[in-house]
Homo-oligomer: A and B are copies of this chain.
């Protein structure tokens, strides 16, 4: 959740509701609980008796809709929304979703979470046929495919198109008369269906958004499914039967909110189990267990509980840091000025500390926190990571596209321990991760995608294949 601290970013949250008189407002509150999935832009499109209205902008949801009029003008009984993490810092509003397309014969709005692996190829093919793209995102591709299709109904055209795009995707679409949701054949990204007290159906990237609006959980969208919600209710269809669960394990480890359930497993509970398993796999004597706030607190408390070592508040995160643009100068930084995290001297001074973190990407944060604790007087700092080493990029919707960004792709555990200045370092095993989450799907790794850890990608990589193979050679990796 703490995207300010770690350089690991989810690429979006999506939400939709059909049949509620306050649809745009419901969508606002749903997106509000998905804000951790993307902070660089947000948008909502509503449906007022077949007429679609939209507003989107750069910034947090509350900034985009700071002026209440922006929201109250989105009339209608249905709405879909999106929060976006923009991969380039220089975010352009052109890429903010949901997209809204107005044709002479229809209107369609579209929101997307994920990453297509054959986007470059498809885009080129479409452009060669005369298509014009306005954004640099993958998302427009689906709209072009739907418009190119000659299938009889919108649903048919959508299903045909979903068989052409590859990779990780959760889509929500809205036309004049219905809302559609679809998940890729591997189910990389989470997507759940809920129902409000008045009977309205909602779709959301995480179940925490259902809770936020008082909706009860109905079911998860399954790989290969396309869901249709209209005034007649909910209908679940499939666009392919060649499916196999490969749920993104990083959702459990880091991205999802602890109060969400994914595939029926509560995220906090999964993380606490990871901490417990880690305590079993990599025990050490110490005075206390502390977690990196906020994403590692569940795992840390699990470690503490299993080991019987007290769980303490050894690090405090400044809750007001989010939008501070004034930074310490290099000189002040050398004098110890820092803004986001503080070590609690009164707690750690003279103590042996077990520091639990959820994962390590570049390693710069880990190094800084170990140093913080030592400066605050910690006698020893034993670093325990509640996930296996991240060694391989993700092509299904997480913003790590090259191995260069991953310290564990380069260094051994001993080398990392030395670089961080910690007194010992251990990671959770792959088996430990799988058992801690406890999925039961009849699929490799019980239904988890473990590719970041072991390079075992559950699909072909298409456009990324060549570059990825080359990067492996560079790093002399033997798979």
Contacts and interface: CB of A to CB of B under 8 A. Distances in A.
B129 A346 contact: no
B345 A259 contact: yes
A456 interface: no
Contacts of A343: 211, 259
Interface stretch (A142-150, A185-193, A236-244, A458-466): A142-150
Interface stretch (A23-31, A360-368, A426-434, A470-478): A23-31
Interface string A35-79: 110010000000000000000000011100110100101000000
Contacts of A345: 207, 211, 259, 261, 266
A313 B273 CA distance: 13
Given A32-B321, A131-B147, A269-B346, 18 more contacts: A1-B319, A25-B329, A60-B320, A62-B326, A68-B326, A73-B90, A101-B132, A101-B134, A103-B132, A212-B338, A214-B335, A215-B336, A257-B316, A259-B346, A259-B347, A267-B346, A268-B313, A305-B311
A401 B342 CA distance: 33
A318 interface: yes
Nearest to A301: B311
Contact of A318 (B25, B33, B73, B127): B33
Contacts of A226: none
The 9 A-B pairs with the shortest beta carbon distances in the complex, nearest first, are A214-B336, A266-B346, A259-B344, A62-B324, A35-B320, A259-B316, A134-B134, A268-B313, A104-B124
A133 B102 contact: yes
A107 to B, nearest CB: 12
A294 interface: yes
A328 B29 contact: yes
A29 B335 CA distance: 12
B131 A329 contact: no
Interface string A1-15: 110000000000000
Give the interface size bracket for A toward B: 35 or more
Nearest to A210: B345
A297 B323 contact: no
A162 B212 CA distance: 52
B335 A197 contact: yes
Contact of A102 (B36, B129, B136, B265): B136
Given A196-B335, A339-B32, A258 B316 contact: yes
A443 interface: no
A384 interface: no
Contact of A342 (B35, B211, B261): B211
Contacts of A313: 258-259, 268, 272, 297-298, 301
A318 B132 contact: no
B294 A319 contact: yes
A112 to B, nearest CB: 15
A35 B323 CA distance: 13
23 contacts: A1-B319, A29-B332, A33-B342, A35-B318, A62-B320, A62-B326, A68-B325, A71-B326, A104-B124, A197-B335, A207-B345, A213-B337, A214-B335, A259-B316, A259-B347, A260-B346, A261-B346, A266-B347, A268-B346, A301-B301, A301-B313, A305-B311, A319-B322
